[in-house]
Structure 1
Amino acid sequence: MAATTVTDSGGVRIITEVIPATDPRAAQLASSSRPPASTVLSFQVQGFRKAQPKALGTIHIFTGIIHICFGIILTLSEHGTHSLPVASGVLFWLGLLLLLSGSLLVESEKRDNILLVKTCCVVNMGVILSTLVATLLHTTAITRDIPGCEHNAPYQLRPEWCSDIENKMLSNGLDSMFVVFCLLEFCAAVAALAFGYNAVKQHNYTRMAL
């Protein structure tokens, strides 16, 4: 039996009913007091969207296209021996990774899908590591001579284009530009990973609590 108490306060009658745990109505009230799973999920994805994933994704897509385009141009235009960034292929695989990351971030703006957020976190972790490797390769290329122009022997003849200092200046300028791009990509990936991790952590906590 449910215990009922009546209290009069300021002309208002308050009726309080205590329902025992064995009463079927108790289970109904408990289930109705919980927010729908879709509402909780949407709230968590909204937290990830505070990072503006569409803007971050646009940055990754734009810089990814630049990486791939310059990779093609430099591969075709460089003399016999390719520079370190071109020979390593970093312009291509980093560009493709950025296109993938950017597409996922833009898509996460449209869908309330926590699995998509988790995928963004994994891919952006790869972007962070890749940009660090790319920065190391570009800075190393800046400190080295143009490929094919190294002083391997004291009386070795160097090609004529090695004496043109503008070639080295152009090469250093491009590598410096890519270092700046890598810094921008790194910051965007860190922001996406931080907000994504927070959303995933809230999702896991909510599932355990429910």
Structure 2
Amino acid sequence: MAATTTVTDSGSMRIITEVIPATDPRAAQLTSASSPSTPAVSSFQVRGFRRAQPKALGTIHIFTGIIHICFGIILTVSEHGTLSLPVASGVLFWLGLLLLVSGSLLVESEKRDNILLVKICCVVNIGVILSTLVATLVHTTAIAHDIPGCENNMPYQLKAEWCFEAENKMLSNGLDSMFVIFCLLEFCAAVVALAFGYDAIKQHNYTRMAL
């Protein structure tokens, strides 16, 4: 079947309509040109996520995660007798590892146009948000309580000599306060990554439905 051309006059305009059969090679070219490719759509959505600067947010998570793990090792070794609440709970280690994973994924999302990677970043950052809230509660509880081994459980209980040194409690409170500040920074970075990631995923799903 050959292509047919129809000319229609409408006022001062002339409309030329050409009907191309399905067997014509030009039909395949027009079909491929009219439908946007999936990688292009995905790349557009990932670029929207990159407005949050995921590499910078990932660097924050990696840096603070290393600090958490290093201090966790130091405090575990130094508190071999009676462990403080943050060390006993292991919050310095599992939060530090989670931050390293989150930071690595965020940095990697800067390099790859993959909407699935953005979704994984969102899931991991939800875990970071919840973990930082738990860690903040642990550190603030440690600040409000006495150093382990120095509690007044009994009226005539003898305390160790180091319990009467105010510098020990000040040092412990200072470290816990520092970790609370780190948790606040990590929480803000995770919220930003989650907000931009959710917006990119929502746009991606909307585009797929529109197609």
CA contact (8 A) 1:19 1:26 kept: no
**1:105: which partner in 2?**
106
Q: Which stretch has the larger CA shift, 80-89 or 196-205?
A: 196-205
Q: Give the match's secondary structure for 2:52.
A: coil
Take 1:27 and 1:76, find their aligned partners in 2: how far apart are those partners?
A: 70
Residues 146-183 of structure 1, C-alpha deviation per residue, up to 9 Å, x if partnerless?
00000011011100000000000000000000000000
Which position in structure 1 is the counterpart of 2:17?
17
Equivalent position amino acid for 1:5 in 2: T
Q: Specify the alignment match of 1:187 in structure 2.
A: 188
- Bigger shift: 172-181 or 35-44? 35-44
Question: 1:54 maps to which residue?
Answer: 55
Q: Is the 8 A contact 1:56 1:102 kept in 2?
A: yes
For residue 208 of structure 1, report the CA deviation from its aligned partner. Answer: 1.8
2:7 corresponds in structure 1 to 4
Worse overlay, 194-203 or 134-143: 194-203
Please give the residue correspondences for 1:56-205 in structure 2 after superposition, counting only pairs within 5 Å.
56-78=57-79, 80-205=81-206
Q: Is the 8 A contact 1:57 1:101 kept in 2?
A: yes
- Does 1:208 find its partner at 2:209? yes
- Shift of residue 201, structure 1, vs aligned partner: 1.3
Q: Number of residue pairs matched?
A: 205
Structure 2: gaps spanning 5 or more residues? none
Q: State how far apart, in whole Å, the 1-side matches of 2:175 and 2:183 are.
A: 12
CA offset at residue 31 of structure 1?
A: 4.0
- After TM superposition, the structure 1 stretch with the greater mean CA deviation from structure 2, 28-37 or 180-189, is 28-37
Which SS does the other structure have where 2:170 is aligned?
A: helix
Is the contact made by 1:67 and 1:95 (CA closer than 8 Å) also made in structure 2? yes
Distance 1:7 1:27 in 2: 30
Gaps of 5+ in 1: none
Contact residue 128 and residue 186 of structure 1 kept, 8 A: yes
**The 10-residue stretch of structure 1 (70-79 or 149-158) with the greater mean CA deviation from structure 2:** 70-79
* % identical aligned pairs: 78
Structure 1 residue 8: Cα displacement = 8.7
Cα displacement (A) at 1:106: 0.3
Task: Note the C-alpha offset of 1:34.
Answer: 2.3
Distance 1:16 1:77 in 2: 86
TM-score (norm 1): 0.90
Corresponding letter in the other structure for 1:117: V
TM-score when normalising by structure 2:
0.90
For the residue of structure 2 that corresponds to 1:17, the secondary structure is: strand
Q: CA deviation at 1:121?
A: 0.6
Deviations 1:89-116 (A, max 9, x none): 0000000000000000000000011111
Contact 2:7 2:15 in 1 (8 A): yes
Structure 1 residue identity aligned to 2:16 = T
* Cα distance in 1 between the residues matched to 2:42 and 2:166: 58
